[in-house]
């Protein structure tokens, strides 16, 4: 759309700017403050420079939770993206069942995150939960509160349960925008199923898929509530992801300096990914 | 051709299983739950639900959550409307940077903001009020609403605006009388997503409240940690939180993808 230049449009944006700035700038400045100083309470501060940043960047604890975070994010992407595409491809385009499918699939997306955690906790309890009981009676030794591998699997499957529908819904929306004529032309040319997917469906899905993957990447990068309620970060530290670790340091141990430095590093990483997201999206829209 | 049904059916079955587990557990007595696994409730009971609807600490949780969610939705959508219009129609100094900056707030990890938010809202004496949580959730809901509404508004031809101005409409009269009704669907979708994201969030809501405005989510986590044996009660409370989403989802089913993609589909 051609847009006209109009500086008065700032007035329309002003309320949004004020409200979001109030919520974003002041807390961010507080974090910056803490990250550069040491305090022993009573509002007395000592200048520390970049000590906390060095400490955080060198600490093994930070490396470990960052590594866990990256591993988690790549695992869920590796499962959710192919599964989501496959489900979207095999859904019917028209018919009375489409609405039912869409509503049922979207259901997990609307459940409060702590309920998702609590639900999976109950579901996976080894002796009385549906999943835990079934696995154990099938002969698997499964106990997610004690075995790191079980805890990891449960967390990953929970995220797949929770968010794959997002990818399904977006891909499905992309697929629905393909005109029937494309498929007819492909049939006349005698294209195989793979060729139809590779040269018609995938290019049409590319745009929405980019959005879906980036959204999943970022949301999984800041995941907190679900694993916190499910496993509490345990057993030990095995499912302590970045956000959980941060809250432990900031609100649990009240180590404000390191927590603030870690917040800023974390935020910069997110900002970088965000910028990639924005650039890709704007390029999409320009096409 | 019929084979295609298998995958979506299995997938939906997989989605429904944990929900089924939660529902059946909410109808069981504590003794039955701890006594071992059963696929159906043996002694069907509504005691868990009765407890929630009669105990103020429980039902107040729902009321508190609904209050701040509604306040937040109203604030977010009403300030996002003019802003989204500005982004979709005009070019102005710093518009692209501003649009990007809004997005960064939607993507900001709440964990980063938990402690500063606690101090900020304590300092302005809003701690433990519905308003505090509603304002805090604006951090990610206003950007969301702006992006979604901008997506909808960009689909409406600019000729509509120009014709109205030629007919002598002032900006606000055009905006409220003609433009807002035209994008009613978009407003509905934006409101739905603000409602949802505020409803599902726990960390900030929990940090900013203690007693008077305690959300249901916090009531649940505290119950889970203090009396770990009342699983039936926890399951019933969880089942009830699914209802609001399940009710409204039917109305937005054709726009779900657009909403989740920040209006970019």
* A19 belongs to a structural domain: no
Assembly ipTM: 0.86
Per-residue pLDDT at A265 exceeds 80: yes
Confidence of residue A271 (pLDDT cuts 50, 70, 90): confident
Q: Where, residue-wise, is CATH 1.10.3720.10 in chain B?
A: 56-260
| Residue A177 lies inside a defined structural domain of this protein | yes
The pLDDT of residue A68 = 92
Please tell me which of the candidates B16, B17, B111 has its beta carbon nearest to residue A224.
B111
pLDDT at B105 over 90: no
Comparing CB atoms, the residue among A7, A16, A263 nearest residue B112 is A263
Distance from CA of A122 to the nearest CA of B (A): 7
A204 in a structural domain: yes
Q: Report pTM.
A: 0.88
Question: What are the phi and psi torsion angles at B169 (to 5°)?
Answer: -75, 140
* In the predicted structure, residue A41 carries a pLDDT above the cut 70: no
Q: Do B19 and A119 touch (CB under 8 A)?
A: yes
Residue A115 to residue B217, Cβ atoms within 8 A: yes
> Between chain A and chain B, how many beta carbons pairs sit less than 8 Å apart?
290
What percent helix, strand, coil does chain B show, rounded to 5?
80, 0, 20
Report the gap between the CA of A33 and the closest CA in chain B (Å): 11
**Total domain count for chain A?**
1
In this prediction, residue A173 carries a pLDDT of: 87
Structural domain for A168, as ranges: 61-250+270-286
What is the Cα–Cα distance from A81 to B124, expressed in whole angstroms? 44
Look at residue A100 and tell me if it is in a domain: yes
Residues A158-215 have pLDDT tens digits of 999 999 999 999 899 888 888 888 888 888 988 888 888 888 888 888 888 888 888 8
Give me the residue from A22, A103, A129 closest to B253, CB to CB: A103
Give contacts of B85 with chain A, Cβ < 8 Å.
Answer: 12
Q: pLDDT digits over A9-37, tens only? A: 889 999 999 988 888 888 888 888 888 87
Shortest CB distance from B235 goes to which of A122, A275, A277?
A122
Statement: residue A49 has pLDDT above 80: no
Which chain A residues are within 8 Å of B17, Cβ to Cβ? 123, 130-131
Q: How many percent of chain B have pLDDT more than 70? A: 96
Q: For B218, which residue in chain A has the nearest alpha carbon?
A: A114
What pLDDT was estimated at residue B10? 92
For residue A1, is pLDDT > 70? Answer: no
| Contact between chains at A87 and B85 (C-beta distance less than 8 A) | no
Average pLDDT value for residue range A42-51: 72
When pLDDT is averaged across residues A256-285 and rounded to a whole number, the result is: 84
What homologous superfamily is domain B56-260 in, according to CATH?
MetI-like (1.10.3720.10)
Q: Is the pLDDT of residue B20 over 70?
A: yes
CA distance B72 to B191: 10
Q: Which range among B15-24, B235-244, B248-257 shows the weakest confidence by mean pLDDT?
A: B248-257
Half-sphere exposure of A171 (CA within 13 A, CB side): 24
Chain A residues in contact with B264 by the CB 8 A cut-off are: 211, 281, 284-285
Q: What is the rounded average pLDDT of the residues B133-155?
A: 91
Checking if the pLDDT of A156 tops 80, the result is: yes
Pick from B111, B158, B224: CB nearest A222: B111
Q: Which CATH number characterizes residue A101's domain?
A: 1.10.3720.10
* Model pLDDT for residues B28-87, shown as the tens digit of each residue: 887 777 777 777 887 888 888 988 888 888 888 889 999 999 999 999 999 999 999 999
Task: Answer whether B17 sits within 8 Å of A131, measured CB to CB.
Answer: yes
Give how far A228 is from chain B: nearest CA, Å.
10
Is A202 a member of any domain? yes
Does the residue A30 lie in any domain?
A: no
Q: Which of B107, B96, B110 is nearest to B144 (CA)?
A: B107
């Amino acid at each position: 759309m051609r847009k006209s230049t109009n500086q008065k449009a700032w007035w329309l944006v002003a309320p949004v700017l004020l409200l979001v700035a109030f919520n974003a700038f002041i807390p961010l400045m507080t974090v910056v403050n803490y990250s550069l100083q040491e305090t022993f309470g009573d509002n007395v501060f000592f200048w520390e420079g970049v000590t906390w940043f060095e400490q955080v960047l060198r600490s093994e604890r930070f490396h470990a939770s960052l590594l866990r975070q990256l591993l988690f994010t790549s695992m869920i992407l590796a499962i959710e993206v192919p599964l989501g595409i496959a489900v979207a491809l095999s859904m019917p385009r028209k018919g009375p069942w489409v609405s039912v499918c869409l509503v049922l699939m979207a259901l997990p997306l609307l459940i409060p995150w702590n309920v998702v955690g609590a639900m999976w906790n109950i579901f996976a309890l080894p002796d009385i939960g549906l999943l835990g009981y079934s696995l154990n009676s099938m002969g698997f030794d499964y106990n997610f509160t004690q075995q790191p591998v079980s805890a990891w699997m449960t967390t990953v499957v929970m995220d797949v349960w929770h968010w794959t529908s997002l990818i399904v819904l977006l891909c499905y929306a992309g697929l629905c925008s393909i005109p029937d004529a494309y498929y007819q032309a492909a049939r006349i040319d005698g294209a195989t199923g793979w060729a139809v997917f590779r040269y018609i469906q995938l290019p049409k899905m590319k745009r929405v898929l980019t959005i879906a993957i980036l959204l999943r990447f970022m949301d999984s990068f800041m995941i907190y509530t679900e694993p916190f309620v499910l496993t509490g970060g345990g057993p030990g530290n095995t499912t302590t992801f970045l956000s959980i670790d941060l809250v432990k340091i900031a609100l649990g141990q009240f180590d404000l300096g390191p927590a603030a430095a870690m917040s800023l590093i974390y935020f910069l990483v997110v900002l970088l990914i965000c910028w990639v997201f924005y650039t890709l999206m704007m390029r999409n829209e320009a096409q | 051709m019929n084979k295609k049904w298998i995958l979506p059916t299995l997938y939906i079955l997989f989605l429904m299983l944990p929900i089924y587990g939660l529902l059946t557990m909410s109808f069981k007595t504590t003794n039955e739950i701890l006594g071992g696994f059963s696929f159906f409730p043996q002694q069907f009971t509504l005691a868990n639900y009765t407890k929630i609807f009669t105990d103020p600490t429980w039902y107040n949780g729902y009321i508190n959550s609904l209050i701040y969610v509604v306040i937040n939705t109203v604030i977010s959508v009403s300030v996002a409307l003019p802003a989204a219009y500005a982004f979709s129609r005009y070019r102005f100094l710093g518009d692209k940077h501003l649009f990007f900056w809004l997005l960064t707030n939607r993507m900001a990890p709440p964990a980063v903001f938990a402690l500063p938010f606690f101090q900020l809202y304590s300092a302005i004496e809003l701690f433990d009020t519905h308003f505090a949580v509603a304002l805090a959730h604006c951090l990610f809901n206003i950007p969301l609403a702006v992006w979604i509404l901008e997506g909808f508004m960009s689909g409406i031809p600019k000729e509509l605006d120009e014709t109205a101005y030629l007919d002598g409409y002032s900006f606000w009269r055009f905006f409220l009388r003609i433009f807002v009704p035209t994008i009613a669907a978009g407003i509905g979708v934006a409101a739905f997503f603000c409602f949802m994201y505020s409803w599902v969030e726990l960390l900030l809501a929990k940090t900013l409240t203690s007693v008077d405005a305690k959300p249901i989510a916090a009531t649940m986590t505290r119950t889970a940690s203090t009396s770990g044996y009342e699983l039936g009660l926890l399951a019933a409370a969880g089942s009830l939180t699914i209802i609001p989403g399940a009710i409204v989802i039917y109305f937005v089913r054709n726009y779900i993808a657009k909403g989740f993609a920040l209006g970019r589909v």
